[in-house]
Structure 1
Amino acid sequence: MMKFGSKQSQTPQSTPQPANLRGFSPRINDPAFGKYIKNTNRWSAIFSIILAVGAVAGFYIAGEVGSEMDNPESLYIGFGIGGMFLLIALFQILGRNRSKTWDGTVEDKKIKKKTERQTFGDDDVRYEDYLEYSVIIRSDQGKRYTIRSRDNDTLYNYYRIGDRIRHHAGLKSYEKHDKSGDRFIPCNACGTLCDISDDYCFRCKCPLLK
């Protein structure tokens, strides 16, 4: 998933640009990407196991000391929720392992104003307006993919209609073919914005694809 952490467009200051910013980068073959995917899968599994154990333990304790539900019914609910966490992690890992590299083109970009209903307690209901920025990509095989960002136009501005892009297997990101006019570049591993003159992501240390 891309990480920007701000509702404002985060574009670094203009810096001298390196040469040869056209073309898909062979740096995707760097072992750092394979290691990143492996670590991501491992931490997904560990985190899901922790959540699953916490759910089982929590519902068991609630069944022992609570008055609304007794064990083993409460424990069964804990097993059900814990199993759900494990299945979610399993599908995420399988999705990363089965994903493939493909090329496509930015087909369209859209901005939509949306409203989210939020509930605080029984009587306090609030509505929050936000903007959803979408970049629509069509693969060369004809399938459509959408990048969505809430209240953040960074990727919306980064991609232009007609841009050729490449999705790399195991990564939820898209490499742009022509980066010659850019001042920043998203890391294709963790999504962190980096200066176009950098060679490696300062957060995850993976090579920047340029």
Structure 2
Amino acid sequence: MICPKCGAESDKSIKFCVHCGSPQLHSAETQGPEPETVARKPAGNHGLIGYSERINDPAFASYRRQTTAWSFIFAGILAVIVIVSFYIYGENSSEMDNPQALYIGLGIGGMFLSIALLSTISRMRVKGWDGVVIDKKKEKKTRRNKDSNGQYYEERYTLYTVVFKTDRGKIINKSVDDDDTVFNYFEIGDQVRQHKGLGTLEKYDKTGDSIIFCNACSTLNDINDDKCYRCSCPLLK
């Protein structure tokens, strides 16, 4: 099948061009004319065709705020524990006195808070993009790990990778070890959108899917559910 927009050749079973993401004409030719094919709801409760407007629901902004708040609360608790522990150690140990022990505790506590700050900044800088799945890879790999006795051993694992090409031509690989859920969820030719500030992916055509990922916390949900059972954010369908 030759793409009418960019001229690239794609497999006949693919709904969208793997190079530019344009819909392939053979879909319309084989299925016949059908009104309102974009953003229509198929029979049953199996999702929508089109990117959901639910991403603008205030629940997502609230989730981002709560995630940031909990990051700093958790980091703050760890920082206090470390600072107090080092202070007590300095008061009771013959190996290290205060204020040296206290300074070390302050340094480690500050490191926890810095990590929380950098994580927050990283989430805020996540950019949104539209793209298409151009490849999927399943690789058997080996890595070295160290056990509790300090001995090295080899661990075998499977690396599942989904390759995306954005609308600006950038190639993005998303990989995970020993979990093929996302790998099986996407097919080559699927159009996807990464949402700004979240970093999660929404599939354009969810027709026929039995599962759907929450675009806030990435929890796996049933396609018939309306909200995520973990964070209560609306599911994008």
Alignment TM-score, normalising by the size of structure 1: 0.83
Aligned to 1:177: 204
Matched, 1:61 2:126: no
**2:124 aligned partner, one-letter code:** N
* Distance change in 2, residues 1:198/1:56 (3 Å): same
Distance in 2 (CA, whole Å) between partners of 1:146 and 1:80 is: 36
Q: 1:51 to 1:144 in 2, by over 3 A?
A: farther
In the TM superposition, structure 1's runs of 4+ consecutive aligned residues that sit over 6 Å from their partners are none
3-state SS of paired residue (1:36): helix
- Structure 1 residues 115 and 31: alpha-carbon distance in aligned structure 2, compared to 1, 3 A threshold: same
Correspondence for 2:4: none
Structure 2 residue aligned with 1:3: none
State the percentage of identical aligned residues.
52
Give the distance between the partners of 1:90 and 1:28, measured in 2 at CA: 25
Specify which of 129, 138, 150 is matched with residue 177 of structure 2. Answer: 150
SS in 1 for 2:158: strand
In 1: Cα distance, 2:111 partner to 2:44 partner: 47
Q: With structure 2 as the length reference, what TM-score do the two structures score?
A: 0.74
For residues 56-205 of structure 1, the aligned pairs below 5 Å read 56-112=83-139, 113-122=141-150, 124-205=151-232
Gaps of 5+ in 2: 1-42
State the AA in 2 paired with 1:164.
Answer: Q
Structure 2 CA distance, aligned partners of 1:62 and 1:125? 33
Report the RMSD for the aligned CA atoms in angstroms: 2.0
Does the 8 Å CA contact 1:17/1:197 hold for their aligned counterparts?
Answer: no
Deviation at 1:208?
Answer: 0.6
For 1:144 and 1:88, how far apart are their aligned partners in 2? 28
Name the structure, 1 or 2, with higher relative contact order (CA <8 Å, separation 6+). 1
Provide the secondary structure at the position in 2 that maps to 1:120: coil
CA contact (8 A) 2:47 2:209 kept: no
SS in 1 for 2:108: helix
Structure 1 counterpart of 2:147, which letter? T
1:19 Cα deviation from its structure 2 partner: 5.6
Which of 51, 55, 58 lines up with 1:28 in the alignment?
Answer: 55
Counterpart AA for 2:234: P
1:76 positional shift: 2.1
Unaligned runs of 5+ in 1: 1-15
User: In the alignment, is the contact (CA less than 8 A) between 1:134 and 1:147 conserved in 2?
Assistant: yes
User: What is the count of residue pairs matched by the alignment?
Assistant: 194
